[in-house]
Structure 1
Amino acid sequence: MPAAWPVLGVEIVAWTTVWALFGRPAWFHWLLIPAFMALPTEIYLLVFYGQGISTHHLGILAETSPMEAMEFLGSKVWSMLAIMGLVAIWWVLAFRAARQSPDLHWQGASRWTALGLLAVFGALAAYGWEFGTARASAPPASAATSAERGAHLTGLALPPLPGWAEPPARFDAFIDSWPFGLVARGVDFYRERRYLAALNETSRNFRFGAHQAVPDDTPETVVMVLGESSRRDRWSLFGYARATNPLLAQEPNLVPLNDVITSVSATRLSVPVIISRKPARQSLEDGFNEKSFLTAYKEAGFKTWWLSNQISFGKFDTPVSVFAREADVVQFTNLGGFTNRSNFDEVLFEPLRLALADKTPKKLIVLHSLGSHWNYSQRHPKAFDKWQPSLFGIDKPVYTDLAIKPQLNNSYDNSILYSDWFLAQVIGQLKASGRAAALLYVADHGQTLYDGDCKFAFHGHNTQHEFRVPAFMWYSEQYRERYPRKVKELHRHRKARLATENMFHTLLDVADIRYPDDRLEWSFVNGAWKKHTRYVDSYGWTDYDNASVRGDCREIIAKKPPRKR
């Protein structure tokens, strides 16, 4: 594996540096205690999820109580405790060996030579980090200012480091090294926490002034399920030939929403539009000065949960977790990743069961699923590998290879089949609760899947398949009795032209929550609903309903010049 060589080089340099600085291993062995303590977790994540400790995992550790960790690990906790005991013995034996081995004491001219070389190496790396590095392919930088070259601390206008003098070290290789990479991951975690705090600060004092129109103590539950990478035309609920929704199709109180589009085909940009009043045409901007429907529900007397099988930290995920942390209970359950092995969405069943068992009468529960995120075949267990041939069991398939188009599409449909089962089980738990309950499902964006002669796959290609998303609402009989007019309006608007911008307003209206400047004309469970312009990010802000569809990729092309971003 080519990536192993840079990591090996980092390991050699790092261990040499520590040994040269301290002279004797026994003198720096105490500094390795954090690494020894983290080793059982690293082994656990590598064995079960194919990756080591990351920024996201540090976030989970920071936010999870010991009791929650014990419940999550179950019987595996004993194996981790056993490994912890073995690691402790290993540390003691290694310390004794280091103390009793005078031959490991590095002294003499070779140590000072190594320290000198390391000092030069460090100085070059620091200079390159501060003033940049001149690449052979880059234009001359002699006229550039220090700010343009990215000086971080000094503000000086010095020339960049020549390319030939750049140390052969990569930061990503340092992050992957052990145990030194733990320091880099810790720094990354700290930066993400600061970024999270900065985004949250913009809306810290925001209030909706929300309340239920007729406050009472009648128990009711509202569930919002955020789907992932799901396209409408692969759901048999919307006419697909394959029976990808056999269970949902049997639900009599389930109302498919036939025409829903998302404004942008990226999770970090689309989810804020779904869960807050952030306008579609602001979705490309970082941050928002308002909070989400979680805060509105809390103001109206509901206890709120955010239960996620997604990632909490990272440049694609932190903007969503800003809103997630408004909830009373926040739980991220995905110890894997997106393209690696990860938990199936059914990992959310137990947190959901505990939320439903909570004695609070009024509840809002958000389930953020992993849905049909690539790698599709790793989103479901073997029992759902129905359509063949598929990519199931193939580790890291090359998704850009058109030769695997049939396998890729079959695996995608299998992931929809699993989502059908997952959603049916969630509905089953709500039925068993015996209270007024409603569930609203919508996917964040769709996927392009080498359709016809299209040479594109996944998302970010401005295609109809990425903008048209599946959505539906389910309600219990108790909910129908409590809110008969809302159920009537839901059925009346099932074929209306809707967008993810409607979801915030509808979800508040589902629980009859009002606030001073609410917009009932954006709620499709309300008689005041009105059609509005549906913008999508396709070569500018394009009116989706006044656009043409081009080619097998089905690109959305504005008939009139689109609005500028």
Structure 2
Amino acid sequence: MMKTFLRKSAVQILLGLVVALTLFLPGLLYNMFAENPLTWFRGEYLWMFWAFGIVLCACPSFRLSATVLTGLAFLELTQFASLAFTHEYITPSTIGLMLIEYLDVAESTVANSIHFLHVPLVVLLPYLLCLEILRRTWAFPFKSRWFVIFVIAFLVFPLVRIKTDTDRDDIVNFFPTAKNPTLVNTLNSYSLYFGVLLPESLFGRTVAHQFPEYQIRETGIPTSPMTVVLVMGESLTPNHMSLYGYGRKTTPFLEELTGDPDFVHRKGYSAANATRAALPMFYTLQYHPLDENRLRRQDSNLFLLAKQHGFRTWYLSAQNSNCLNGVNLGAIDVMITADTRPELFEREKDEGLLELVREVPSGGKNFIVVHQRNVHLPYQTNIEHRPAFQRFPTEGLSFEDSTINAYDNAVLYADYLYRQLLQELRQRTDGPLYVFFTSDHGENLGDNGHWGHDRLDLVSSVVPIMFYARGGDGRYVREMRQKPPATHYQLGKMIARMLGYDIRNPAEEGGVVYVNGVASQGRSGYMRFRVSGNGELRDLRVFRPPFEAVEGKGRENVKRVTHSIPR
């Protein structure tokens, strides 16, 4: 009896491992054909898939288990077809478009199938092999109809998570990310579309907003080497930078730079009040929070624009890869994040970014994004490895004083990083060098009694916008001085011009700024206001969902409007 139990248990565990490896194997095989290999880094998924495999093998019906695996294989086929054809993970909006234009999708698939024969191979071979192994060994493991419940629970878990997560309004949180196995990305996208977006559309909880397409014109750029760098800060507010008049000397290096005629700085407004809402808008040049065309089409994606004009694209981040949820990763040649090099950032913190910049070969054309982490809660943790920058005491003080001091220490450390980064770039780059500095959003530090940035307000949308140039076209410095970008959107358009594109948005409103809330696509509300030539803010309005249809140049019909907001 005991021998039988042990034998069945061993077979069950081994077959569960076979299923788990099957779920991982398509991604591994696809890497053999991909220009930019897929990566994932969370080991807990192996245990999750293994547990799923064990309960799947315990189902009493082979037909049921085979149906489940066949369904997963079909979904993975659509995922890898998207990766092969568009170099992008399949997203909820892609799924919706695929179902609407299924005839065009089918025609394109047939017409281009000769170029993507590896797609069905990398998916079907592992799944067919797994099914054959299960068929031959089906009688050996334990069987119980109760295990069917666990199989169902696994399949609906992504939808349950989306529905119950505290960030469920920010749907971009559940978009594909490079740190997940492809199957997890696939289930998330299909669950989000069929479980959230489609029901909302069918039952009238959302409306279709009509925005005109961007007009993208190529202007051409020199073929000689040049480097365009975007340094994306984290939670950095100009209100605590001495460069902008703050009482404490938190940015001594940046203040030194003001004597350089090729350095320009001003205050501006972020695209949104939270990282995962702001960055997709920034990198795709999304102007209006409700304009879904940018995330869906990706034709104004800065990485894609750069790559099309011969730039090698780099994304170097001290944060996790999910900060780029909603951005097509296929146009990024080199992507290194805290997910891929955890030991580097655990040891060096943000100074690990300097090490990565040193790995960028000199010469040629490069578009480099450097995403910091250090000015983020908990502020003190991100600089604890560098006592020299803990200038302001944090022990034995009130919460307010301790938090402000820790933040100012983090800003001081960021200033040091800017010095080191510019030094590296000056030494290692050939040809013109253009460097932009900004932040994903600002930060409340007791302003109107608020702390952090997870709310829709003006304080946490104010960010620094700085620019440094060495050599190259002097018109960019003149433009920054005479008509500096006041928003992430305007800054993104300027970067696009350096990459060789003139981008026109027919729905753009002169002097009007939009700031999204903490959730993408306006799902937690957004702000609209005007900024005059002298920087004066007026006509502030806050829009909260549900929205009525928006067409053209921001003619919103609003359910609820708030005019008072902390400044």
Normalized against structure 1, the TM-score is what?
0.56
Secondary structure, aligned partner of 2:409 = helix
* Range that drifts further, 253-262 or 21-30: 21-30
Counterpart amino acid of residue 544 in structure 1: F
The aligned residue for residue 545 of structure 1 is 530
The correspondence for 1:486, drawn from 470, 476, 488, is 476
Q: SS in structure 1 opposite 2:321?
A: coil
Shift in Å, 1:384: 4.3
Which of the residues 370, 381, 393 maps onto 1:389? 393
1:491 alignment partner, SS class:
helix
The one of 292, 296, 314 equivalent to 1:288 is 296
In structure 2, distance between residues paired with 1:195 and 1:23: 31
Q: Does 2:413 correspond to 1:413?
A: no
> Counterparts of 2:423 and 2:188 in 1: how far apart (Å)?
35
| Paired position in structure 2 for 1:514 | 501
Provide Cα deviations, 1:274-330, integer angstroms capped at 9, x if missing partner.
Answer: 1122223237899431241111122222222122222124xxx3515x334412222
Q: For residue 542 of structure 1, give the secondary structure of its aligned residue in structure 2.
A: strand
CA contact (8 A) 1:211 1:300 kept: no
Say whether 1:467 aligns with 2:454: no
- Displacement of 1:434 in angstroms is 5.0
Unaligned runs of 5+ in 1: 1-17, 36-50, 59-114, 133-147, 153-170, 172-184, 200-205, 393-401, 523-529, 548-555
Q: Is the 8 A contact 1:255 1:473 kept in 2?
A: yes
1:353 aligns with 2:358: yes
Alpha-carbon separation, structure 1, partners of 2:287 and 2:394: 39
Contact kept, 8 Å, 1:509 with 1:520, in 2: the verdict is no
Relative distance call for 1:273 and 1:124 in structure 2 (3 A) is closer
Instruction: Check if 1:535 corresponds to 2:533.
Output: no
Contact preservation (8 Å) 1:309, 1:343: no
- Tell me, in whole angstroms, the C-alpha distance in 2 between the residues paired with 1:431 and 1:514: 25
1:347-397: CA deviations, max 9, x gaps? 12222122142x42x2111112224122211222323442333279xxxxx
Confirm or deny that 1:332 pairs with 2:337. yes
Q: Which amino acid aligns with 2:530?
A: D
Question: Is the Cα–Cα contact under 8 Å of residues 336 and 342 in structure 1 kept in the other structure?
Answer: no
Quick one: distance in 1 between partners of 2:146 and 2:538?
52
State the shift of 1:404 in Å: 2.4
* Conservation of the 8 A alpha-carbon contact between 2:265 and 2:466: yes
1:203-241 C-alpha deviation (Å, 9 max, x unpaired): xxx99976453x433221110111111112011111111
Using the aligned pairs only, state the percent identity: 19
The alignment partner of 1:345 has SS state of: helix
TM alignment of 1:234-273, pairs within 5 A:
234-251=240-257, 252-253=260-261, 255-273=263-281
- Deviating more after overlay: 405-414 vs 538-547: 538-547
2:226–2:430: 8 Å Cα contact kept in structure 1? Answer: no
Counterpart residue number, 1:39: none
Contact 1:211 1:514 in 2 (8 A): yes
Q: 1:302 to 1:126 in 2, by over 3 A?
A: closer
1:409-428, Cα deviation, whole Å (9 max, x unpaired)? 21111111111111221111
Corresponding residue SS for 2:228: strand
Answer whether contact 2:287 2:514 (CA < 8 A) is retained.
no
Shift of 1:259: 2.8
- Match in the other structure for 1:435: 431
Match of 2:60 in 1: none
Q: Which residue of 1 aligns with 2:306?
A: 297
Distance in 1 of aligned mates of 2:10 and 2:156: 35
Give the superposition deviation at 1:122.
Answer: 4.5
Q: Distance in 2 between matches of 1:20 and 1:405?
A: 61
Q: Secondary structure at the match of 1:545?
A: strand
C-alpha displacement at 1:468, in angstroms?
A: 0.3
Deviation at 1:187, TM superposition (A): 11
- The Cα of 1:332 is off from its aligned counterpart by 1.9
Partner of 1:458: 452
Query: What's the counterpart of residue 520 of structure 2?
Result: none
Q: Assess, with a 3 A threshold, how the Cα gap between structure 1 residues 423 and 546 changes in structure 2: closer, same or farther.
A: closer
TM-superposed deviation, 1:22:
3.8
Cα 1:255–1:545 shift into 2, 3 Å: farther
Report the Cα distance in structure 2 between the residues aligned to 1:303 and 1:466, rounded to whole angstroms: 33
Cα distance, 1:196–1:406 mapped onto 2, change above 3 Å: same
User: Structure 1 561/193 Cα, relative in aligned 2: closer, same or farther at 3 Å?
Assistant: closer
Structure 2 residue 488 is matched with structure 1 residue 500: yes
Aligned with 1:237: secondary structure? helix
CA separation of 1:129 and 1:281: change in aligned 2, threshold 3 A? same
The aligned runs of 1:15-414 (5 Å cut-off) are 22=7, 53=43, 122=147, 189-194=181-186, 211-213=218-220, 215-251=221-257, 252-253=260-261, 255-282=263-290, 287-291=295-299, 292-313=301-322, 317=323, 319=325, 322-334=327-339, 343-357=348-362, 359-360=363-364, 362-380=365-383, 381-390=385-394, 403-414=398-409
TM superposition shift of 1:560: 5.3
* Deviations 1:80-127, CA, capped at 9 Å, x for gaps: xxxxxxxxxxxxxxxxxxxxxxxxxxxxxxxxxxx99x9587466567
Q: CA deviation at 1:445?
A: 0.7
Please give the secondary structure, in 2, of the residue aligned with 1:280.
coil
Task: Write the distance in 2 (CA, Å) between the matches of 1:474 and 1:518.
Answer: 25
- TM-score normalised by the chain length of structure 2: 0.56
1:11-66: CA deviation from partner (whole Å, max 9, x where unpaired): xxxxxxx995646779968988999xxxxxxxxxxxxxxx984679x9xxxxxxxx
Given the superposition, is the C-alpha separation of residues 190 and 229 from structure 1 closer, same or farther in structure 2, using an over 3 Å criterion? same
What is aligned with 1:68?
none
Residue pair 2:456, 2:525 contacting (<8 A) in 1 also: no
Answer with 1 or 2: which has the greater Rg.
1
| 8 Å CA contact 2:529, 2:541 repeated in 1 | no
The 3 A distance-change label for structure 1 pair 149 and 423 is closer
In 2, Cα distance between equivalents of 1:234 and 1:186: 34
With over 3 angstroms needed to count, the CA separation of the structure-2 counterparts of 1:187 and 1:121, relative to structure 1, is farther
